[in-house]
Amino acid sequence: MLAQYGPQISSLERAASSQSVGVPLLIATNAALLGLAVWSGSLHPLAVLALAAFPGSMLSLWQLQILHDVLHGSLYDKKKTKFAGGRLSRKALQDATLFWGSMPSAFGYYLYLKYGHMTHHRSVGDPEKASLAKLFDSDNAEFEDGDVLFVAHRMKLKGDIGPTFNIPPMRKGGKARKLTMSLSHMGFSAWKMMKPVRNVLAFAASFAYERFMLVFNDLVVAISGRNFFFPNKPDQFHRECATYCRCAVATRALLVMLAGWKSLFFLYLSELLWSIPPHPASAMFVTNHGSAIDEDTGSCVPSSSTYAGRLYSLYTLGTNYHVEHHDFPTIPFHKLHLLRQIAPEFYRPGSDDKLLRIMKKAFSQPDYYACMDAARI
């Protein structure tokens, strides 16, 4: 692709940033989430559910996508941004945006973005790195592939499961025990081939329960200063986790004091619902790293985009252009669609993907994550 379209793509990578769009949109998005969360405190729980389904879930997805640009260094324009008269470095501004821009939230995207997304680009589909046991047992600060945290609920993985907890002896002189358990594995083990409704329900249950446990875990980390799901990670990881959790928990506590528990319920649902069918955004989320076989080459394709028209791309803020993003990660979210115009023969044509059909297929025949099955590569 670069051999044919190198100058056009390089200029897009070098010149483009999402600063003029992304910065004000992130501010507006977080302000809207905060305002809707406060309003939710006075609403019936069913009304909170409806508000979270739309526009809350869309706004939460926008928050994630804009922060994702921060991570790849494509939010702030190097030439136009003035860093507080030179007192604030670009890296410090990016870190501050990622940290504080992840709020308000119920469980938030910070942990995944900070420690799991960049390694995901390097390790996607690698069976030596993309396993639950490796992710939870590793002593590296970063996750080997952060997407394993999500795909384990809905796709096949290789390797052992995790996390494993050390259980102290119940009585003096007794033996310590190890307990290995995985909510995602338990949920996925309940799936049946060609039973999409059953599988959606199993996925929704395991995913929702694990997200709820993340809210509780943030409180544990804030108090204890350690994330016990990752016992082997360095102290730096635990310190940074604790700092974020303390700020996030304080923010949530203030919100609950101001508007009641339904404000946090709104944020939880907003972050959760866009990932679960029949939400439209779920179509691109559950299929972004399948193991489809290219009909022309017979090779396995480890990523997928969802093309369902301009409104869908706006609704998901460009997260549906997943192949394009993995091809060129530094191109900002509002420019990814241009790749199909520059190099149309390298991307699947059309803009009429059927979202319900996509979701039905994903939950009828679960696939290996990102061509992980070596027999199909």
Instruction: Report yes or no: 75 and 19 within 8 Å, Cβ to Cβ.
Output: yes
| Predicted model pTM | 0.94
What DSSP state is assigned to residue 191? Answer: -
Residue 15 structure tokens: 């010149």
- pLDDT tens, the chain, 377 aa long: 888 998 899 888 876 789 999 999 999 999 999 999 999 999 999 999 999 999 999 999 999 999 999 999 999 987 666 555 555 688 899 999 999 999 999 999 999 999 999 999 999 988 888 889 999 999 999 999 999 999 999 999 999 999 988 777 777 777 778 888 899 999 999 999 999 999 999 999 999 999 999 999 999 999 999 999 999 999 999 999 999 999 999 999 999 999 999 999 999 999 999 999 999 999 999 999 999 888 888 889 999 999 999 999 999 999 999 999 999 999 999 999 999 999 999 999 999 999 999 999 999 999 999 999 854 43
The rounded distance, in Å, linking the Cα atoms of 165 and 16 is 46
Tell me the C-alpha to C-alpha distance, in Å, between residue 304 and each of 26, 39, 66, 292, 347: 26, 37, 20, 8, 10
The rounded distance, in Å, linking the Cα atoms of 364 and 202 is 12
- What is the number of other CB atoms lying within 10 angstroms of the CB of residue 128? 10
Instruction: Report yes or no: 33 and 270 within 8 Å, Cβ to Cβ.
Output: yes
